[in-house]
Amino acid sequence: MNRFFLLCTFIGSFFYTGCSQSTAFDFFSTDTYYEKAVTNMQKASLMRDAETKAILHAVYLNNVDPELYYDDAYFYVAVHIMEDSSEPEHAGLFNADYRLKILGTDTSVNEDDPQKQPQYDPSSIDEEVFESDEAETPKQPAYVYLDPVEIKTLDENDKLRRTMPIRNRWNHFYLVRFEQSPNETINLLFENDQYGQAELTFQKEK
C-alpha cells in the first residue's frame, strides 16, 4: 500500500512539475512586436537649469510594422509637458510652445516653374555668353524641418496604445504622420523657444 502511494505521489509530482514549467515558459515567451517597438523607441528631454520641462518618447512605426506603416513616416508619440495647458485641445503636441518636426526635402520652390525663375535682361549682359560643354553639377536637395502631415490623438482604448511600451497615465499619446524622407536615417526634432531642442535619429530598416 505504501509503495503504491509513493508511486502515485511521484507520478503526480512529475506531471505537476511539467505543467508548471510549461506555464512559466508561456508566460515569459517573446513578444516580437513589443520587442521591435522597444528597439525603435527613443527619448528626448527639454530642460532648463537642470530641471526637466518636457519629456517625449517616440517609436518609429515603419520599422515595427512595415506592412501597415510604409507610405509615409509614422511615429507613436508619448509626451509629457510639466507646465502644460489644462485644455486638451492646447495640450501635448497641440501646445503652441512646443513643436515636433522631421528633416525632409524642401519642395516649396520648383526649379522648372518659369514664374519662380529670375527674369532675363539682355541689357545687363555686356559680354557674349557661350554655353558650357561641361555637364552641370547636380544640385543637392535643400533639407528643412517639416511639420507633421497629421497628428491623431489616441485614447486609452486604442489598440496601438495597448501594444506600445509607454502607457503611463500622465502622458498624451499620438499617432503622428510625416512625409516620407528620402534619407536612410530619420531625424526627428522636438523643440521649444525657451528650453531649446532635442533631436532623435532613427535608422531605416531595409
The pLDDT assigned to 64 comes to: 96
The pLDDT assigned to 15 comes to: 40
The pLDDT assigned to 120 comes to: 44
Mean pLDDT per 10-residue interval, the chain, length 206 residues: 48 40 34 92 96 98 96 97 95 98 75 47 50 58 91 95 89 96 92 97 92
The pLDDT assigned to 140 comes to: 65
Query: Is the distance from CB of 74 to CB of 63 less than 8 angstroms?
Result: no
In three-state secondary structure terms, 160 is helix
Q: How far apart are CA 191 and CA 204, in angstroms?
A: 23
pTM to 2 decimal places: 0.71
Pairing of strands 196-203, 143-146: unpaired
The pLDDT assigned to 135 comes to: 57
Give 38-44 contacts, CB < 8 A, sequence gap 24+: 38/165, 39/63, 40/64, 40/202, 41/165, 41/166, 42/188, 42/200, 42/201, 42/202, 44/188, 44/190, 44/198, 44/199, 44/200
If one counts every other C-beta atom within 10 angstroms of the C-beta of residue 74, the result is: 22
Q: In what order do the strands lie in the sheet with 150-153?
A: 41-48, 51-60, 73-81, 172-178, 150-153
Phi, psi torsion values for 139, nearest 5 degrees: -75, 140
The pLDDT assigned to 127 comes to: 52
The pLDDT assigned to 106 comes to: 74
The pLDDT assigned to 190 comes to: 98
